[in-house]
Chain A
Amino acid sequence: MGFVLWWREWTHAFLYMSPFVFSAIGIALSVGISVLGAAWGIYITGSTLIGAAIRAPRITSKNLISVIFCEAVAIYGVIVAIILQTKLENTTQPFDPESMRAGYSLFASGIIVGFANLVCGLCVGIIGSSCALSDAQNSTLFVKILVIEIFGSALGLFGVIVGIIMSSQASWPSAPI
């Protein structure tokens, strides 16, 4: 019985939160977590790349591609954050269901993009580190691993696409007619 009451109180809390809060958190998550993913990926790749380049300096410029792939993840986050932020409009009826829907969809798309980019960044980073190591051992492996890396970085794009579609549904009620 207590649980039900507790649950109802919490759901009520969501009902009484402004959709702008959700939208803002969504935007923040989208860029923040994406950058976290990118940064994580870059240090995984980067530390390996530095070490591997001591023995085989030729790999540095080629393997910057891995770093760039990770960087792209952060850019996805930024782009989506900008798109989401353009969706955020002023409204006089913040607790209108339409407003609530818009707020939730911006929140969700932020989470989608953020976490998709986080794992994408990790994935690309780990593959990038392996790529640097294998390239240092055998330069013919670079292209093969790059293909895998491209697939990995495509994962982030899925999140971006879904996030954009989702955010496109957000519309804010205009002034009362």
Chain B
Amino acid sequence: MSGSGQRLNVVPTITTMGVVKARLVGATKGHQLLKKKSDALTMQFRQILKKIVQAKEEMGEIMKASAFALTEAKYTAGDNIKYIVFENVDTAIIKVRARQENVAGVKLPKFEHFSEAGETKNDLTGLARGGQQIQLCKSAFVKAVEILVELASLQTSFLTLDEAIKTTNRRVNALENVVKPRLENTIQYIKGELDELEREEFFRLKKVQAYKKKEVEKQIAKNKLLLEEESRKDAGHKVDRDGIIGEQEDEDILF
């Protein structure tokens, strides 16, 4: 059977058709819902994409500025300044916190930074040379960290959303292109089978009727012949007829 992939392997009965029809209704409903979700996600996705592009452009500029601030600091305070700053650091001042956001049932991770107050080391670094540049460099990099955290948050959401949209779309497509046609085909098939059965029944009835008719006609014709022969025998061959009857009676006798 060529179309077996396109329909379910069911016994074509009215009951089955009822069940399949119910399933089709469910699938259509699900499809609509998923489609809506997919649209919502796509909208969110586009928004995030826009934000990412913006943030990336901004990041390019900020990173450039902060790298250059470092150059300036190194220029005025000497090349070793970065080691001095490194060695002065114990723990990070700026930390990142993660939380979740729910968009149409998809959990998106969001990062946000916060700084631990009271950690103002390095204040006197470069006291005799380049202290201001170092402070400028510091604030430039803090800004860079902020934008990086924002970008990281956006990127992760982007990836998660991408995955979610793909899954949803796959489901939508699966419903639309596989499940629904299959159910429809099944219904079609069951309907077709049922029709076929009906037609067969009708034909058979017809055949039976025709046969019956033929039999009746045959009987009528026979009767007619008998009648004619009788009438003829009545006229001339009455004996024959009696003879036949007598013969029969004879046979009976013979038995």
So, do A and B actually touch in the complex, CB under 8 Å? no
Binding site for A on B (CB under 8 A): none
